[in-house]
Amino acid sequence: MKLSEIRTLLNADIIFGEELLETTEVETAFASDLLSDVLAYSKPNALFITGLTNPQVIRTVEVLDLVGVVFVRGKVPQLETVELAKRRNIPLLRTKCIMFEACGRMYTAGVGASRQTVD
């Protein structure tokens, strides 16, 4: 699924990367407010759904080769976060959905989990 479709699905604002929405393919996603857990468990190429707003979100995306970030619960990322995402060319969306709702809409539309269980 294209990131532009996810944007419609979540009724999300584009914070950065309008021109990336058509070219970014999203097959899986990982949702968490704990970056260490994302680092421990997420697989590459997932879309990252989070309520965290600090620049470490982008570092984590970079380390794991994730495809983009959706900020949930209406959170606005810090300026530094947006600046870093621009430099790294990582698309950022913001939705008023809570995390469960965002995940539910995406899952129903066919976006799978980055991983289903942890060992």
Partner 1 sequence: MRQDVYRGCGRLAPDGGLRGMIPFQVYMLRGRDFSNAGRISSSIKRVLKENKFDPGVIQRIAIITYEAEINLACYTYYGYLWIYFLNDRIKIVVKDSGQGITDIALAMKEGYSTASEEIKRLGFGAGMGLANIKKNSDLMFLHSLPGIGTTLQIEVLLNPDQKREPMNITMEEVLTRTNFTLLTEGIDLTRNVTGGFAGDMLSDVNANSREGNIWITILAHPNGIAVASLKEHAGIIISGGIKPGGDFLERALRENIPVLFSELSTYEVVTILSGLGITANH
In the structure encoding, which two tokens stand for residue 60, read together?
A: 């984590």
**Contact status: 3 vs partner 1 (CB under 8 A):** no
**Contact status: 22 vs partner 1 (CB under 8 A):** no
Q: Backbone phi, then psi, for 112, in 5-degree steps?
A: -85, 175
**Contact status: 28 vs partner 1 (CB under 8 A):** no
To partner 1, the closest distance from the beta carbon of 1 in angstroms equals 23
According to CB under 8 A, which one of 10, 26, 52, 102 is a site residue for partner 1? 52
**Contact status: 39 vs partner 1 (CB under 8 A):** yes
Counts of helices then strands in the chain (DSSP H, E)? 5, 6
In the structure encoding, which two tokens stand for residue 14, read together?
A: 């584009």
Q: Degrees (nearest 5) of the Cα angle 13, 17, 23? A: 110
To partner 1, the closest distance from the beta carbon of 50 in angstroms equals 8
To partner 1, the closest distance from the beta carbon of 9 in angstroms equals 25
**Contact status: 54 vs partner 1 (CB under 8 A):** yes
Angstrom distance (rounded) from CA 21 to CA 13: 12
Angstrom distance (rounded) from CA 68 to CA 73: 17
Give the interface with partner 1 as residue ranges (CB under 8 A): 33-37, 39-40, 44, 50, 52, 54-57, 59-60, 62-65, 80
